[in-house]
Amino acid sequence: MRRSLGWLVLAVFALTVQAQDSPPVPDTLQQRIAACTSCHGPHGEGGDNGFNPRLAGKPAGYLVRQLQDFQKGLRHYEIMEYMVAPLDEAYMREIAEYFASQDVPYEKHPTPAMSPAAVARGEQLVTKGDAAKGVPACMACHGPNLTGVQPDIPGLVGLPYDYISAQLGSWRTNTRSTTAPDCMATVVSRLTDADISAVSAWLASRPVPPEAHAEPPGSVTPPLHCGVLGG
Ligand code: HEC
Ligand code: HEC
């Protein structure tokens, strides 16, 4: 697996380098991120029906932290770890800012089937949390419209079920973590598998609001000290 991914990355790099070597191609940011847009889409709109996640419009501070986390081995996904290994700090910020500034429509994803009990549980966790289990409302941090908060809290609307449930699962299995305070690790440790399915399905079934940009900085007061986490 590792070897075949290595070859794929080499092939992508070879193509990019070849393109950079030919004199008529200008050395623009667009040109240099060609290796990223092949999976994430030219504007970071996402690809393969959500398997390669959308990057467009996500807060820049959030995106740059993901690139750093893949580089530091805090977030694991083999091809992403290869892709970010050679990038320096300034370049990662430049890439993050490019994708954060892209304003493209959201793709529609299938709405998962849910029992009425799962709908109720998903809605409860997102809007009110579960005080008895120490789970704050997802909205308390991700914003009242779930569109995220600048500079570094991502939105939860417009994401497919498979992506949301996989990410929550990866905090549980330690394949995803971030620099302290890793609030999502705390939140997820208090959810059952059924909670993860219910909350992921409920979020994936939400329509994307017409105004889907992240809220301005400071517009939420996170309950677990998870405001600006820093770069
Ligand atoms: C072969 C396909 C592929 C390529 C090429 C690729 N990515 Fe990714 N990227 C993915 C997948 C799949 C994930 C989701 C990984 C996971 O589940 O954690 C991801 C995740 C990410 C994330 C985290 C998104 C989020 O919302 O948390 C960022 C940021 C990102 N990629 C940026 C880049 C950049 C920048 C490049 C180019 C240097 C790049 N990717 C190249 C497939 C790819
Ligand atoms: C205390 C604040 C806080 C609460 C409460 C919270 N989150 Fe988060 N969440 C965050 C932060 C901060 C991140 C970014 C983490 C990172 O950089 O890796 C995040 C990231 C995520 C992501 C990854 C998004 C992506 O694009 O990859 C998902 C999914 C998520 N949260 C779901 C939830 C759900 C579901 C709940 C409610 C059960 C919830 N969160 C409650 C702060 C919070």
Q: Which residues contact 25 (CB under 8 A, 6 or more apart)?
A: 19, 31
Dump pLDDT digits (tens) for 101-143. Answer: 999 999 888 888 999 999 999 999 999 999 999 999 999 999 9
CA distances, 205 to each of 48, 108, 161, 191, 209 (Å): 19, 10, 8, 20, 12
| Residue at which a domain ends, from 100, 126, 146 | 100
Structural domain ending residue among the three candidates 39, 74, 100: 100
Cα(148) to ligand 1 centroid in Å equals 19
The two most distant CA atoms of the chain are separated, in Å, by: 64
Task: Tell me whether residue 78 is in a domain.
Answer: yes
| Same-domain status, 84 and 132 | no
Indicate the top mutation candidate among 80, 138, 184, 219 to test ligand 2's pocket, ranked by most ligand atoms within 8 A of CB: 184
Mean of pLDDT values over 208-225: 89
**Same domain for 69 and 26:** yes
* For residues 155-165, average pLDDT: 95
pLDDT at 166 over 90: yes
Which atom of ligand 1 is closest in space to residue 176's alpha carbon?
18
Instruction: Say which CATH number the domain at 51 has.
Output: 1.10.760.10
95 and 126, same domain (yes or no) = no
Ligand 2 mean position, distance from CA 49 (Å): 21
* Domain closes at, from 100, 127, 156: 100
pLDDT average, residue stretch 178-189: 93
The alpha carbon dihedral of 54, 55, 57, 62 has a sign of positive
Domain hosting 22: range is 2-100
Q: What per-residue confidence (pLDDT) applies to 99? A: 97
Tell me the mean pLDDT in the region 92-100.
96
Distances (CA, A) of 102 to 43, 55, 88: 6, 8, 22
From CA 44, how far away is CA 39, in angstroms rounded? 9
Burial of 106 (0-12, 13-18, 19+ CB in 10 A): middle
Token pair, residue 130, equals 């579960």
Pocket of ligand 2 (CB under 6 A): 62, 65, 125, 135-136, 138, 140-142, 153-154, 156, 164, 167-168, 178, 183-184, 187, 199, 222-224, 226
Asked if residue 131 and residue 74 are part of one domain, the reply reads no
Give the pLDDT score at 175: 96
How does pLDDT run across 191-206, given as a tens digit for each residue? 999 999 999 999 999 9
If pLDDT is split at 50, 70 and 90, which confidence band does 229 have? Answer: very low
User: Which ligand has an atom closest to residue 78 CA?
Assistant: 1
Alpha carbon distances (Å) from 118 to 53, 129, 193? 25, 14, 12
- Residue nearest ligand 2's atom 39 by CA: 138
The model carries a pTM of: 0.90
* Residue 29: predicted pLDDT: 82
What is the pLDDT at residue 5? 57
- Other CB atoms within a 10 A radius of the CB of residue 136 amount to 20
pLDDT exceeds cutoff 50 at 230: no
Tell me the residue type at 55.
Answer: L
Q: Are residues 77 and 164 in the same domain?
A: no
**Alpha-carbon distances, residue 228 vs 152, 210, 231 (angstroms):** 7, 26, 9
Report the domain count for the chain. 2
How far, in Å, is the centroid of ligand 1 from the Cα of 37? 9
**130 occurs within a structural domain:** yes
Give domain status of residue 215, yes or no: no
Alpha-carbon dihedral sign for residues 28, 33, 39, 40: negative
Q: Which of 154, 153, 147, 149 is nearest to 55 (CA)?
A: 154
Residue 182 lies in a domain: yes
